[in-house]
Amino acid sequence: MTQMGNQKIRLGIIYGGKSSEHEVSLRTAMSIMQAVDANKYEVTPVYVQLDGSWVTGERLTGQLPDKIEALRLSAKTPAITEATETGQELAVTSKSGSLFAMNEQMDVVFPVVHGPFGEDGTIQGLLELANIPYVGTGVMASAVGMDKWMMKTVFAQAGLPQVKYVGLLRSQWEKGQDDVMDRIERDLGYPCFVKPANMGSSVGINKAKNREELKHALEVAAKFDRRLIVEEFVQARELEIGVLGNEELMTSVVGEVIAAKEFYDYEAKYKGAGTELSIPAIVPGHVSEQIAEIAKQAFQALDGSGLSRVDFFWDEKNDKLYINEVNTMPGFTPFSMYPMLFQAAGVSYSELIDRLVQLAIERHADKGRNVVDAEELE
């Protein structure tokens, strides 16, 4: 690690956020705080409240919070005192966070904020402006990875196999419903999947088996975003792989998501309603090899950095593989797919955090090599 002498790495964790994945983010932040080696890191919690305001806590020395509630910092209650199981007291003193003061207080930041305003490049942009190294994907790859339509365009350009799709704007749908549905029936047929381009967590996604259901699905998706995606349905197994690195990439083992419900929706994902993860996935060698290869190509096509989980559909009957999506800030509790895939590949949860922090510092340093003023060259 880039520790100078005995100096610890001052790690900021940004969590919470203005999205439906707020609670998941809290759980992730808690897991990371508990996993990092206190001899190597000093953690500062940075909480983004549901309304979007930021609250920075005091650096956590001593006992770590062991209850999610301790992480809900509030500017109105300047000191939250949390009695821990051991009877020791933890004071998480909070104050309104000034982003630009962060680069004096933190060496590196781990933004564990999912969904819109989290993994869509907005937080990444703030961290670029503040000139702080941060874990994960940069602005462009985050933004492209968040927009299913744009992501598919990049995959197509890179020649990656994917399901047939139609991208459209809400305004097109509102102006000519029948034209839009005619086009979808002609190009894709039924069943098809309708998705808002920008949500994640299966929010606003519906399967349509006929024109009536298609109309409903488009109406629902159009409530969430102005950009919509409709895809052909594939009867397939859902396989996922982790990618770790900046330019030299490591892939994890392949895992499978086995959803008891018709598709892997929000309930299944976060309430664990009958969803099983199978790690490693029981698939032929050529399938996992192809997945690793395509995952790296997708990561590079987006100019990824740090981490991504790349999701696939595998039509077993026809042995056809399709890339579904790249998640640039995948679920990251110790029981989430991404960390478990790397655990199975021999990289423990705390090692994974170490590697990600290191990659963040390296990428920031590499960027620092860029000449900003051409006159410097003369």
For residues 63-100, one letter each, b for 16 or more C-beta atoms within 10 angstroms of the residue's C-beta and e for the rest, the string is: bbbeeeebbbbeeeeeebebeeeeeeebebebeebebe
Crossing angle of the two packed helices 139-146 and 148-157, in degrees rounded to 10? 110
Whole-angstrom distance, CA of residue 92 vs CA of residue 3 = 25
Q: Which of 3, 67, 74, 263 binds ligand ADP (CB under 6 A)?
A: 263
Burial class of residue 308 in the structure, from the number of CB atoms within 10 Å of its CB (0-12 exposed, 13-18 middle, 19+ buried)? buried
**Binding to ligand ADP, residues 8-27 (CB under 6 A):** none
Extract the tokens encoding 307.
């981490």
Q: Cβ of residue 119: shortest distance to ligand ADP, in angstroms?
A: 11
Q: Which of 201, 275, 297, 350 binds ligand ADP (CB under 6 A)?
A: 201
Q: Cβ of residue 196: shortest distance to ligand ADP, in angstroms?
A: 9
Write the CB contacts of 267 (distance below 8 Å, at least 6 apart in sequence): 261, 273
Q: Interface with ligand ADP includes 325 (CB under 6 A)?
A: yes
Q: Cβ of residue 165: shortest distance to ligand ADP, in angstroms?
A: 8
Binding span for ligand ADP by CB under 6 A among 46-54, 153-161, 230-238, 279-287: 230-238
DSSP tally for the chain: helices H, then strands E: 12, 15
Q: Interface with ligand ADP includes 200 (CB under 6 A)?
A: yes
**Binding to ligand ADP, residues 115-174 (CB under 6 A):** 163
Extract the tokens encoding 187.
């190009």
Binding span for ligand ADP by CB under 6 A among 3-11, 112-120, 216-224, 228-236: 228-236
Q: Interface with ligand ADP includes 107 (CB under 6 A)?
A: no
Cβ atoms of 111 and 118 within 8 Å: the answer is yes
Q: Which of 119, 120, 231, 354 binds ligand ADP (CB under 6 A)?
A: 231
What residue has token string 């990439």?
A: 249
Q: Give the helix/strand (H/E) hosting 316.
A: none
Q: Interface with ligand ADP includes 315 (CB under 6 A)?
A: no
Binding span for ligand ADP by CB under 6 A among 22-30, 132-140, 192-200, 357-365: 192-200
Q: Interface with ligand ADP includes 193 (CB under 6 A)?
A: yes
Q: Cβ of residue 321: shortest distance to ligand ADP, in angstroms?
A: 13
What residue has token string 């964790």?
A: 13
Binding span for ligand ADP by CB under 6 A among 201-209, 288-296, 343-351, 366-374: 201-209
Q: What is the DSSP letter of 170?
A: H
Q: Interface with ligand ADP includes 277 (CB under 6 A)?
A: no
Determine the size of the site formed for ligand ADP (CB under 6 A).
16
The CA radius of gyration of the chain, in Å to the nearest whole number, is 22
Which residue type occupies 176?
G
Q: Cβ of residue 333: shortest distance to ligand ADP, in angstroms?
A: 17
Q: What φ, ψ does residue 331 adopt, rounded to 5°?
A: -45, 135
Q: Please choose, from the candidates 310, 305, 303, 341, the residue with its C-alpha nearest in 3D space to the C-alpha of residue 325.
A: 310
Q: Which of 20, 49, 202, 350 binds ligand ADP (CB under 6 A)?
A: 202
* Closest to ligand ADP by CB, 42 or 225: 225
Q: Interface with ligand ADP includes 270 (CB under 6 A)?
A: no
Q: Which of 49, 105, 161, 233 binds ligand ADP (CB under 6 A)?
A: 233
* Closest to ligand ADP by CB, 264 or 270: 264
Q: Cβ of residue 125: shortest distance to ligand ADP, in angstroms?
A: 21
Q: Which of 238, 303, 315, 351 binds ligand ADP (CB under 6 A)?
A: 238
| DSSP code per residue over 272-293 | -SS-EEESS----HHHHHHHHH
Whole-angstrom distance, CA of residue 13 vs CA of residue 60 = 11
Which residues of the chain form contacts with ligand ADP (CB under 6 A)?
Answer: 163, 193, 195, 200-202, 205, 231, 233-234, 238, 263-264, 311, 324-325
